[in-house]
Amino acid sequence: MRLENKVAIVTGASSGMGAAIAERFAEEGASVVVIARRKERLQSLVDRIAAGGGKAIAVAGDVTRDEDVENVVKTTVREFGKLDIVVNNAGLLDRFVPVAELDDDLWNAVIDVNLTGPMRMFRAAIPEMEKAGGGSFVTIASVGGLQGSRAGPAYTASKHGVIGLAKNVAYMYAKKGIRSNIIAPGAVRTEIGAGQEANEGGAAVCMAGMGTNPRMGEAEEIASVALFLVSDEAGFVNGATVVADAGWTAY
């Protein structure tokens, strides 16, 4: 019960890594508030957590909307009395569209979810963490935030940017007991690209290195990393980018 008496928000929790993180946190004793756009998927997650003896509530919302972000933070504090942990997990792919073919709508959509969304969560959550005497953020980035062509330009730029943002928060608020760390997963089996038609030329370039990938990861493996980073065991870990990719970027 490493998160006993802790209260956590997990964004993008309707499936994949977000759902796995929420379930793992609840198993470890946290009260979890899950937010995503698909309320019915969230309710299924909450029901699974409750069946396992955990505590969770669902809040439908979109990290691109200030009012939704503010609402989930207010709801968390109202229901559970405080806020200790935030996992910035919500993400959007860019279909590997090369920059010469990229339109403003796709660029803005990806940046809004992947970079501005976490900024909104930092902005709304930090005052509540300060009241609680500290807290912990984990931001899910990507090896695409460390390398140049693991995805298209919009996704790549957003993940490079969010790593810098999360590191800035780490140092800015370290003396207030707030930690901010990053996970950079490699290829993980999730639904993030489901239903999206990839740009054929861009995908051919970006996927060329998949043959060097030792293996795919599972959402539960990322959840284990997140659990460590938000736990007291990681009290001296702040501003770190933890790569979880089976060694892919070591090649």
How do strand 241-244 and strand 178-185 relate by DSSP bridges? parallel
Largest CA distance in the chain: 51
CA 229, CA 217: separation in Å to the nearest integer?
18
CB burial readout 81-94, b (16+ within 10 A) else e: ebbbbbbbbbbbbb
CA 236, CA 251: separation in Å to the nearest integer?
29
Helix-helix angle 39-51:16-27, to 10 degrees: 30
Question: Residues with Cβ < 8 Å from 136, sequence gap 6 or more?
Answer: 84, 85, 86, 178, 179, 180, 181, 229, 230, 234
Catalytic residue among 155, 171, 173, 251: 155
Give the C-alpha distances (Å, rounded to integers) separating 13 from 19, 151, 176. Answer: 5, 22, 28
Question: Is position 155 annotated as part of the catalytic site?
Answer: yes
Question: What amino acid is encoded at 23 in this protein?
Answer: E
Give the pair of three-digit tokens for residue 156.
């790549």
Please identify every residue annotated as catalytic.
155
